[in-house]
Structure 1
Amino acid sequence: MPDANEQPHSEAWKTALTVLQEAVPPAIPQGAHVMTVRIEYPPGDPGTPPHRHSGPAFGYVLEGEMRFELEGEPERIVRAGETFWEPGGDVIHYQDANHRTDSRLRFLVTMLCVPEKPMLVLVDEDELKRRAHLRAPRPS
């Protein structure tokens, strides 16, 4: 006989899952820790200057539109409800700017951080010049 306090099971779980992104990241270093952050930029904000992450990062845009650019890939717009990822390591992340001038941008990023290394390091102008040949052509 069922317990009077037991809740009936729903069937919703069978269709509740939607895969938004699948990726094969580079190897995850021993002892890595995971960090999930929410980032919010006001309208038209240029975002973080060119930088890199110590490990792979996986993101989801909650609101707005992000101008996203990784080294070797063309700039693209990631809209609310869409995902992005980057391998981390040596790859430069050029842009995570708010593409819209009339609304804010909010996104989540889950990063796998290498032990004893910062999760974000800015790239200096000299390195950007040395690696300019690796950047995809800019939109005109």
Structure 2
Amino acid sequence: MAPAEPSAAESSAAESSAADSPAAESQAAVTRIVVQDAVLAHPVTVARIETRRITLQPGAPAGLHVHSGPVVGSIETGSVTYQLEGQEERVLRAGDVFFEPEGERVARFDAGADGVTFLGVFPLAAGQDAAIEFPDR
């Protein structure tokens, strides 16, 4: 015999008590917004994720560089002029995010007048290190 469906009054009472619970109250206070959804050109099996806090002094340029894997980042303080080769440059500030695809040439990542501190997140395969290459050096 199948279990009886709850009546509309029972369902409403259950929803009301669930909405009044501490968990529901804390969920109502949380907002989740996707700020970046980066698609990997070459999906990889991730064995570990390395997160680095990186600081560039005021006006310091990173120079043209290429990463050995994808990099996802978030600016914590300051600003940076960011440009992937062949794309328009843009200024990133605290709270902004960026994505550097594996093998893409990063033409500019130059600290602003106040410098910049950012988190760089490196998804890595087993045995892989987060490597950076500077083609012009």
| Structure-2 residue corresponding to 1:58 | 72
2:107 is aligned, of 91, 94, 97, to 94
Give the drift of 1:9. 3.1
Query: Aligned with 2:27: secondary structure?
Result: helix
Which one of the candidate residues 99, 116, 122 is aligned to 2:133?
A: 122
Cα contact 1:28–1:112 (8 A) shared by 2: no
Matching residue of 1:111? 122
User: Contact (CA 8 Å) 1:49, 1:122: kept in 2 or not?
Assistant: no
In the TM superposition, residue 32 of structure 1 has moved relative to its aligned partner by 4.3
Q: Sort the Cα spacing of 1:22 and 1:117 in 2 relative to 1 into closer, same or farther, 3 A.
A: same
Report the structure, 1 or 2, having the larger strand content.
2
Within a 5 Å distance, the mapping from 1:1-140 to structure 2 comes to 8-9=22-23, 11-14=25-28, 15-46=30-61, 48-88=62-102, 90-99=103-112, 101=113, 103-125=114-136
CA RMSD, Structure 1 to Structure 2 (Å): 2.3
Q: Structure 1 residues 121, 79: CA separation in 2 closer, same or farther (over 3 Å shift)?
A: same
- Cα contact 2:69–2:101 (8 A) shared by 1: yes
- SS at structure 2 position matched to 1:12: helix
Separation (CA, whole Å) in 1 of partners of 2:53 and 2:24? 31
Q: Please report the TM-score for the alignment, with normalisation by the length of structure 2.
A: 0.70
Q: Which has the higher helix share?
A: 2
Identity of aligned residues (%): 29
Question: Structure 2: 5+ residue runs without aligned partners?
Answer: 1-21
Tell me the alpha carbon deviations over residues 74-133 of structure 1, each in whole angstroms, 9 at most, x when there is no partner.
221111111111211x2111222112x2x231111111234444422323338xxxxxxx
Separation in structure 2 between the aligned mates of residue 108 and residue 125 of structure 1, nearest angstrom: 25
Shift of 1:42: 1.8
Per the normalisation by structure 1, the TM-score is: 0.69
8 A contact 2:46–2:123 mirrored in 1: no
Contact kept, 8 Å, 1:28 with 1:55, in 2: the verdict is no
For residues 5-63 of structure 1, what are the alpha-carbon distances to aligned partners after superposition, in whole Å with 9 as ceiling and x for unaligned? xxx435233433232212222233235431111111221111x2322112211111111
Aligned-partner Cα distance in 1 for 2:36–2:70: 14
